[in-house]
Structure 1
Amino acid sequence: MTTAEVFSYLKPGSRLGAYRVREWKGGGAYGDVYRGVKDGKPVALKLSKHRQHSADPGKTDERLLRELVCLVHVDHPHIAKVQGWARTPQGRGYLVLEYVDGWTLAHWLQNARPTFQQVARLFAKLAHALEHMHGRRVRHRDLSLSNVMVRKVDGEPVLIDLGAGEYSGAQELTDAPLPPGTNRYRSPEAARFFKENQNNPDARYPFPPEDDLYSLAVCLYDALTDAEPARGGWEARKAPRIDVNSPMWAPPSARTANPRVPEALSEWVEKWMARDFEKRLPSLASMREALEALGAQEGAEWLAPVQAPPEAVSAVSEATGDPPAKARRRVLAGAVAAVVLAVGAFALLREAPSREAPFVPAVPESSSGPRAKPPQAHPSPPAPSTSAVPSPSEVPPAVKESPSVPAPTNPSSNPPVAKPPMKSAPAFSRGFLKKCAGAGALAAALLGCPAQQVQPTQERCPAAAAENIRRLGLDDGSQITILVDVKQPIFRSPDECKATGRVWSDEGWCLTLLGDGKLESETEEKIGRLPEGSRLYGRVWTEGATVVGRYTRARKPNGEEIDVCMSLSANGGLDKMPGSKPGAALVRPRDAATSITKQWH
């Protein structure tokens, strides 16, 4: 018998079949997901942790094949699409999937602060996706806030990860009473079955489609009642999660837990989560229709955000466009700055006035984050044949339905108001100025960014630059490998990296340090009519949750320069590495540039 192997992660830049790996996105017990690219188009690559015929108790290869069959059976705009399947030379299987650039549902709920109307509409689409899945005799079996993505570009939800999925007639892979899944989202019947059969090695829970709908109801309950859904049980939370699995009593209604929840929505969620299966069944059957009707409500309570912003933090967050955590830092920094100004004012009263030129304090510029473009409506595509795995060209892109859920946006901050100059400025001693400078620096550090820093707004690509992109043979969203900063070369050893003062990552990269300002990158492969070795010129912003980079000029190796629209990494931002700070972001030295013909986000 072949022994199970120790799995090694794929490094950015490595090859997986016809695809180049860009970054590791996440993984679990059965496999790992990478963002890859082929011909400039991003894909998700799900690679099994173990090869075929290995001594793998988790049966990861078999589960990958089962996920493949499940995905081939379905075709819905809110279910991630499969584009292909293959094996590595070592025998590991991998799926080629539609790449969903966005947030998990948990992060979207926590950071976007959606309204009740938006949440109802989003969950109606997920219920529709489950209806379609069950109509094709496929069950997800592991629905949770982490297995739903919300796309950045249009705010549409997409069901992902059918690794625990099952289709009718499939061979049983589970060697325990319950299939893989998250306990919080299991039905009362599943919990009862496990309690009664946990010591029975032959017992297997017959997972019904209604359990998927129950899981969706728990997800909705969490969306309405949990202010921190993206924080796991091991992370510090302001309040513990409400227990939904108690065998003794049902959880409090959503409206009891969060008085902002509309009564009608709370009542439906309570029906969908009823402890008695017979009482729950009729309401589950009408879940989609009920959610669609609820999402059509227009009253003030439906257009209100699900979670009320914390006092003070809300006002600062809306004024600055910052997320709540950052807003809290600004409140603290504002308090420190106020103390600094008070000390300075007191000192002014004690210093002798001067007749020198007046001093006008600088006013920080306001900032606003990247915005998402409005979604468009399209009809649903016809169901494909399930006789074979579709090729990438046969798989239609994800289709958007209406009404859609807007992606998170950062409110624009109010423009700064210049203060009138003082009639005269006092004369300060060097010691006094030094103290004030130190105190001011402390306040600026707590604010977390230099005064002049701004984030780019959503903009359309100029027509001439968009036409140049098309003349290069590129589409909106084509990707090409780049060296992020030509001034910071790639070092292959930790010693060389650290000798230059840079950081060596656990992934085996000498990280690039980016600050706000100009950026010059270089292409490392040919795409369309843009040669390898072309230089890209633009600007980078590092204050937000991601690094935003925009290129507006390209110079080919022959010296020809053209106007272009390209973004650093995916259109929307490059993930920061641990240790990053505003104005000093750590990123991988090699990533991707994405061509733009429509608009930057």
Structure 2
Amino acid sequence: MIAIHHPAQLHPGQMVDGWRVVRLLGAGTYGAVYRVEKNGQHFAMKLAMHRASSGDAAQADARLKRELGCLVHLEHPNIVASRAYGRWPDLRTGWLYVILDLVEGYTLAEWVERMHPTAQEVARVFGKLAGAVDYMHGRGVFHRDLKLGNIMVRASDGEPFILDFSAGDYTNAEDLTDAPLPPGTKRYRSPEASRFLRENGDDRNARYEFKVTDDVYALGVCLFDVLTADQPASGAFKAPVEGRLMPPPARELNPRVPELLSDAAMNFIARKPEHRPPTAEVMRRKLEAFAVEAGQDWTTPLHLPATKPHFDPATGPEESVAPRPRALGRAVLFGAVLVVAALVAAFMAARSAPRLASARAAGSSPVSSSLGDAGPVALAEAPSQLRPHVEDAGVSLDAGAAPLVPSTLSSPGVALPPQAPVQKENPAVKRAPTVASPSEAPAKKALSSRGSGAEFLKKCAAASAAVALQLGCPSSSQVRPASDECPSDAREAMFNELGLVKGSSTLLTIDMKQPGSQADLGVYSDGAVRGVVRSGNRRMPTGTILYGQLWTGDGRLLARYTRAQYPDGNTYPVCIAIGEEGPEDGWEGSKPGAVVFPRSFGAYWVSRWP
């Protein structure tokens, strides 16, 4: 059992005040969300990312308390319900958690891509959402961060739910904002709020008065995006909505949108608040009238199933059925290389056949002698064992949390899914057999000629890169680096240009190529690695790719990421570490160079490397 250092690091089977953790669903700036079980019933548990006494600048504890305050005011069939709350492990000083109903389905963006809804179905869903928004306004609650990722559609019956009130507000609530605008997402921010920020951005005491028409506008942008974007989950929107000018009409961007629905969507996102519906109830009545329309425009899918490549940061591009000409050319070239390789292999096999026959006659096997008895079996079974598996539909209940997606195979390190029957709550990790390459034997002999391995590694650790190379030391990635200062250009980029908060964290998929879901374990070795942010915010968005290095030589894991590539293509020097105070202990079965560790883990923005 490893010590718990972070709310995003609970493991399957762990008990939290009688709630059994099943798996991680997602995480964001303010909280981590788990599927939990108690007395045979499943719920979602959201934990604040920091304790009340941690000095957290983002005030995660206070914001989850605020979210709970919003939810206790609300009881509506299309708003997620809270069932319990507490602090763990200590009732006074522990992490705050809230138990919520578990909504199993898709985010609104995923629903569009998977279900290809009709205009009639979209009008029905948004009519219910508008009714829920009007209900919350009637009880003095504002959501303040309505967006596609904070709305779920339940898979069983298509019912929509509004989630994540971490940016919410209610009458007489304590002011947590230390900026002119409340937390939120720029695309869904009303024009009047954006104007207020332009005019008062330098005044830290200025506060925007959030209004009903701000939530109306945000829900209108959600509708506009659902109507016009066939792949909204990837952020591929057809038109910007920010700015003083209106975007093109929805019907102009997508001719499948009925004219009446297009006009209504543009009305909801009018530049001036007085030109929008004054309440969400007006939205609801208009949309519910459209939900009974029966013409062909209303009953055919708004978007055809996508045939173009779709990119996911964790899995890479998904090729279309028809390859592009350049890809086809590469395929032909690759095929030719395979043919040549096969001919060479056949020729070598023919030459070695007499030697193999004599070896068998002598009772020895060249394959077994190099791979061990399990070698041929392990290699034969590897393709099926390494095939990634897909989890059942997961739900992220926190802002910016990304859907759980299976990945492709990994390097460095290989994570194998558990043997049947699959136990998702406690995934077993099987290590591949160690295969000695011919080049390793001379290296071991050279090491022994220099004295004891420990003494030699100490010399390597103390040597400069040039001297280490002359000594013939192992790769520098195998020797854990000492703690030192983060470079000044990275500190400038992170804490000034990007506005990241020193010591804050995000949930990171450590290695993009490790197979399985976020709740799985991986096996990691030394070397270069690419991670991906799974629960970003506007300062470091979901999907940001991080380039770095892993060290596992002492049976623990340390990761340093030094470059961040944002989804818009911009790159920045950074200092992001897994292991805030030094290497993290590996899970059961770890050994030097093969550390068993969760596929996703909390990563910290640091000014000094641990």
Q: Tell me the TM-score range normalised by the shorter chain.
A: 0.5 to 0.7
Q: How much does 1:50 deviate?
A: 1.0
Query: In the alignment, what sits opposite 1:275?
Result: 271
Counterpart check, 1:142 vs 2:145: yes
Query: In the alignment, what sits opposite 1:31?
Result: 31
Counterpart check, 1:264 vs 2:260: yes
- What is the CA deviation profile of residues 433-485 of structure 1, one whole-angstrom value per residue up to 9, with x for unaligned ones? x9xxxxxxxxxxxxx99xxxxx9xxxxxxxxxxxxxxxxxxxxxxxxxxx873
Q: TM-score, normalised by structure 1?
A: 0.54
Q: How much does 1:27 deviate?
A: 1.2
Q: How much does 1:203 deviate?
A: 0.5
Q: TM-score, normalised by structure 2?
A: 0.53
Query: In the alignment, what sits opposite 1:65?
Result: 65
Q: Is the 8 A contact 1:272 1:284 kept in 2?
A: no
Q: How much does 1:7 deviate?
A: 5.5
Identity value in percent: 42
- Matched residue SS, 2:98: strand
- What is the CA deviation profile of residues 124-183 of structure 1, one whole-angstrom value per residue up to 9, with x for unaligned ones? 000011111111111111000000111111111111100111101101000001101111
- Matched residue SS, 1:43: strand
Query: In the alignment, what sits opposite 2:420?
Result: 485
- Matched residue SS, 2:37: strand
Matches within 5 A, 1:376-525: 485=420, 497-499=431-433, 510=521
Taking structure 1 as reference, are residues 184 and 311 closer, same or farther at Cα in structure 2, changes over 3 Å only? closer
Q: Is the 8 A contact 1:490 1:510 kept in 2?
A: no
Query: In the alignment, what sits opposite 1:286?
Result: 282
- Matched residue SS, 1:87: strand
Taking structure 1 as reference, are residues 19 and 192 closer, same or farther at Cα in structure 2, changes over 3 Å only? same
- Matched residue SS, 1:130: helix
Q: How much does 1:54 deviate?
A: 2.3
Query: In the alignment, what sits opposite 1:245?
Result: 242
Query: In the alignment, what sits opposite 1:77?
Result: 77
Query: In the alignment, what sits opposite 1:176?
Result: 179
Q: Is the 8 A contact 1:497 1:504 kept in 2?
A: no
Q: How much does 1:505 deviate?
A: 7.7
- What amino acid is aligned across from residue 55 of structure 1 in structure 2? G
Counterpart CA distance in 2 for 1:292 and 1:254 is 19
Q: Which runs of 5+ in 2 are unaligned?
A: 310-316, 333-342, 347-382, 385-389, 391-417, 436-513, 524-597, 600-610
Counterpart CA distance in 2 for 1:191 and 1:82 is 32
Query: In the alignment, what sits opposite 2:21?
Result: 21
- What amino acid is aligned across from residue 301 of structure 1 in structure 2? D
Taking structure 1 as reference, are residues 262 and 173 closer, same or farther at Cα in structure 2, changes over 3 Å only? same
Match of 1:219 among 211, 217, 222: 222
Counterpart CA distance in 2 for 1:227 and 1:489 is 32
- Matched residue SS, 2:83: strand
Q: Is the 8 A contact 2:24 2:518 kept in 1?
A: no
Taking structure 1 as reference, are residues 500 and 128 closer, same or farther at Cα in structure 2, changes over 3 Å only? farther
Taking structure 1 as reference, are residues 85 and 184 closer, same or farther at Cα in structure 2, changes over 3 Å only? same
- What amino acid is aligned across from residue 290 of structure 1 in structure 2? K
Counterpart check, 1:199 vs 2:195: no
Counterpart check, 1:91 vs 2:94: yes
- Matched residue SS, 1:146: helix
Q: Is the 8 A contact 1:36 1:42 kept in 2?
A: yes
Counterpart CA distance in 2 for 1:105 and 1:17 is 32
Q: Is the 8 A contact 1:178 1:194 kept in 2?
A: yes
Matches within 5 A, 1:587-598: none
Taking structure 1 as reference, are residues 91 and 123 closer, same or farther at Cα in structure 2, changes over 3 Å only? same
Q: How much does 1:53 deviate?
A: 2.4
- What amino acid is aligned across from residue 61 of structure 2 in structure 1? D
Q: How much does 1:57 deviate?
A: 1.1
Matches within 5 A, 1:292-307: 292-307=288-303
Q: Is the 8 A contact 2:11 2:23 kept in 1?
A: yes
Query: In the alignment, what sits opposite 1:460?
Result: none
- Matched residue SS, 1:302: helix
- Matched residue SS, 2:47: strand
Counterpart check, 1:228 vs 2:163: no
- What amino acid is aligned across from residue 241 of structure 2 in structure 1? V
Q: Which runs of 5+ in 1 are unaligned?
A: 314-324, 341-430, 435-447, 450-454, 456-482, 513-587, 590-601
Counterpart CA distance in 2 for 1:150 and 1:47 is 23
- What amino acid is aligned across from residue 99 of structure 1 in structure 2? L
Q: Is the 8 A contact 1:271 1:283 kept in 2?
A: no
Q: How much does 1:273 deviate?
A: 1.1
Taking structure 1 as reference, are residues 491 and 500 closer, same or farther at Cα in structure 2, changes over 3 Å only? farther
Counterpart CA distance in 1 for 2:140 and 2:289 is 26
- Matched residue SS, 1:103: strand
Q: How much does 1:330 deviate?
A: 4.4
Match of 1:166 among 163, 169, 175: 169
Counterpart CA distance in 2 for 1:489 and 1:162 is 29
Q: Is the 8 A contact 1:48 1:92 kept in 2?
A: yes
Counterpart CA distance in 2 for 1:490 and 1:20 is 10
Matches within 5 A, 1:577-596: none
- What is the CA deviation profile of residues 471-505 of structure 1, one whole-angstrom value per residue up to 9, with x for unaligned ones? xxxxxxxxxxxx873599999997x634499x798
Counterpart CA distance in 2 for 1:31 and 1:74 is 21
Counterpart CA distance in 2 for 1:489 and 1:268 is 45
Taking structure 1 as reference, are residues 172 and 125 closer, same or farther at Cα in structure 2, changes over 3 Å only? same
- Matched residue SS, 2:230: coil
Match of 2:213 among 190, 210, 214: 210
Counterpart CA distance in 1 for 2:515 and 2:114 is 30
Q: How much does 1:285 deviate?
A: 5.0
Counterpart CA distance in 2 for 1:125 and 1:45 is 25
Taking structure 1 as reference, are residues 198 and 304 closer, same or farther at Cα in structure 2, changes over 3 Å only? same
- What amino acid is aligned across from residue 84 of structure 2 in structure 1? G
- Matched residue SS, 2:35: strand
Q: Is the 8 A contact 1:217 1:269 kept in 2?
A: yes
The structure where helix makes up a greater share of residues is 2
Q: Is the 8 A contact 2:22 2:425 kept in 1?
A: no
Q: Is the 8 A contact 2:113 2:305 kept in 1?
A: no
Q: Is the 8 A contact 2:230 2:306 kept in 1?
A: no
Taking structure 1 as reference, are residues 178 and 253 closer, same or farther at Cα in structure 2, changes over 3 Å only? same
Counterpart CA distance in 1 for 2:183 and 2:110 is 23
RMSD: 4.8
Query: In the alignment, what sits opposite 2:336?
Result: none
Counterpart CA distance in 2 for 1:267 and 1:492 is 51
Counterpart CA distance in 2 for 1:113 and 1:507 is 27
Counterpart CA distance in 1 for 2:59 and 2:277 is 33
- What is the CA deviation profile of residues 349-387 of structure 1, one whole-angstrom value per residue up to 9, with x for unaligned ones? xxxxxxxxxxxxxxxxxxxxxxxxxxxxxxxxxxxxxxx
Q: How much does 1:16 deviate?
A: 1.5
Q: How much does 1:52 deviate?
A: 2.0
Counterpart CA distance in 2 for 1:488 and 1:499 is 23
Counterpart CA distance in 1 for 2:302 and 2:111 is 12
Matches within 5 A, 1:335-374: none
- Matched residue SS, 2:117: coil
Which stretch has the larger CA shift, 283-292 or 175-184? 283-292
Query: In the alignment, what sits opposite 1:125?
Result: 128
Q: Is the 8 A contact 2:13 2:425 kept in 1?
A: no
- What amino acid is aligned across from residue 87 of structure 2 in structure 1? R
Match of 1:152 among 146, 152, 155: 155
Taking structure 1 as reference, are residues 57 and 297 closer, same or farther at Cα in structure 2, changes over 3 Å only? same
